[in-house]
Amino acid sequence: MEQEQTSADDDETIASGFGLSSPKLKREERAIEQMLAIENQTAQEAGEIGFLAKSLLQANLPHSKRSESSWTRINGNLTFHITSPAAIGLPYGRYPRLLLVWITTEAVRNAAKLARGQITNSEARLLSLGVSLKRFMGDLGLRATGGESGSIYPFRDQMDRLFNATVTVSVTKNQRETGSVVMSLGPLRVVDRLELWPKTFDSTKDSYIELSSGFYELVTSKAVPIDKRIMRHLKSSMAFDVYCWATYRVSYLSRWTVISWSDLKGQIGASYPDTTQGRNDFQKNFRKALYAVQLLWPQLKATPTKKGLTLKPCAPQVPRRTSEAI
């Protein structure tokens, strides 16, 4: 199993250690400014509520490029499996995570319109990306830059990877009378139909994706509210995963608990090899990611220890009831 490496879109990840280098100071200054803005205005007040499907939050995508065309994560009684055509490859890193938040958020909003009778079932699954790739990337908090080292090509690459993927989600439930029962949803294509901007220039009409009916059901049935401002600010995919996991985990936490490093690695760092070096690397990078999250969410009561992560009850970063306001 190959060790996780920083992907191309994670170049701006939190610097190692706590040295006071200029780039780090600038990042921390921006984080403090963002933290103050978040503290002074809720995500709902700022119009910045986003959503991520519970199953996608419990089982993450790869952090780095994989040579294989399938990926399986097991978290407790949930199994998540994703495949992509070998010629395209699996989605990985920060970009598809941002895309999944956008997809889930738009689908949840459409589901609310559908419930009010404002749109049809087929219209609810149709998501417009707009006429401009640059504008769409800007909406996700990304700066669109061209050239060999720019952001446009890797972003389009991750769009292709995610939109051509197929997912299966299975949940095992133990019942006293019948024993273990596996309930499976899938395999589900993420997208049934799409029309994207040409790779060389923007179009004169909206690009769009049409979610498969099964994937639409998956992302709208149990969606967890998050703050899109934090999503845009976090630059590493691990910090992204830590934030999403923590805001969901504390939403039902009633007493303090210790989550072992082994369980955390299975949840957030499965790509790290199960060796002493791999476990040490995971712990080191998890601590950096948690530090980045707590800069923006200082109320998160999470403390790394030798045994694992001590997590204490606190208010979720976005209250779960905000979904009713969509």
Please check whether residue 268 lies inside any domain of the structure.
yes
Do residues 82 and 70 make contact, with C-beta atoms less than 8 angstroms apart?
yes
**Alpha carbons 162 and 200: distance in angstroms, whole number:** 20
Query: Quick one: pLDDT at residue 110?
Result: 97
- Tell whether 317 is covered by a domain: yes
Please report whether residue 3 resides in a domain. no
Contact 31, 51 (CB under 8 A): no
Distance of CA 311 to the CA centre of its chain: 21
Residue 298 lies in a domain: yes
- Give pLDDT tens digits along the chain (326 positions): 444 444 444 544 444 444 445 666 776 777 677 778 778 888 888 899 999 999 888 888 999 999 999 999 888 888 899 999 999 999 999 999 999 999 999 999 999 999 999 999 999 999 999 989 999 999 999 999 988 889 999 999 999 999 999 999 998 877 666 666 668 888 999 999 999 988 665 566 889 999 999 999 999 988 999 999 998 889 899 999 999 999 999 999 999 999 999 989 988 887 788 899 999 999 999 999 999 999 889 999 999 999 999 999 998 888 876 554 45
Length in residues, the chain: 326
Handedness of CA 243, 319, 61, 46 (dihedral sign): negative
Whether 266 maps to a domain, the answer reads: yes
For residue 52, the model assigns a pLDDT of: 94
SS (H, E, C) the chain: CCCCCCCHHHCCCCCCCCCCCHHHHHHHHHHHHHHHHHHHCCCCCCCCEEEEEHHHHHCCCCCCCCCCCEEEEEECCEEEEEECCCCCCCCCCHHHHHHHHHHHHHHHHHHHHHHCCCCCHHHHCEEEEECCHHHHHHHCCCCCCCCCCCCHHHHHHHHHHHHCCEEEEEEEEEECCCEEEEEEEEEEECEEEEECCCCCCCCCCCEEEEECHHHHHHHHHCEEEEEHHHHHHCCCHHHHHHHHHHHHHHHHCCCCEEEEHHHHHHHHCCCCCCCHHHHHHHHHHHHHHHHHHHHHCCCCCEEECCCEEEECCCCCCCCHHHHHHC
Written as six digits, the tokens of 152 are 């446009």
Looking at residue 114, its amino acid is L
Q: Token pair for residue 101? A: 């938040």
Contact assessment for residue 192 and residue 121, using Cβ atoms and an 8 Å cutoff? no
Q: Which two tokens stand for residue 301?
A: 């009561």
Q: How far is CA 133 from CA 47, 93, 128, 143, 153, in A?
A: 22, 19, 12, 11, 11
Domain ranges, residue 269: 8-325
Decide if 1 is inside a domain: no
| Count of domains for the chain | 1
Please report whether residue 28 resides in a domain: yes
Asked if residue 305 lies in contact with residue 258, where contact means CB atoms within 8 angstroms, the answer is yes
Q: Output the pLDDT for position 4.
A: 46
Query: Residue 304 — φ and ψ, nearest 5°?
Result: -70, 140
What pTM value is reported for the model? 0.85
Q: How high is the pLDDT of residue 95?
A: 97
Domain membership flag for residue 2: no
Query: What pLDDT, on the 0 to 100 scale, is given for residue 36?
Result: 80
By C-alpha distance, which of 224, 230, 227, 228 is closest to 251? 224
Answer yes or no: are the C-beta atoms of 184 and 170 closer than 8 Å: yes
Task: Provide φ and ψ at 149, rounded to 5°.
Answer: -100, 10
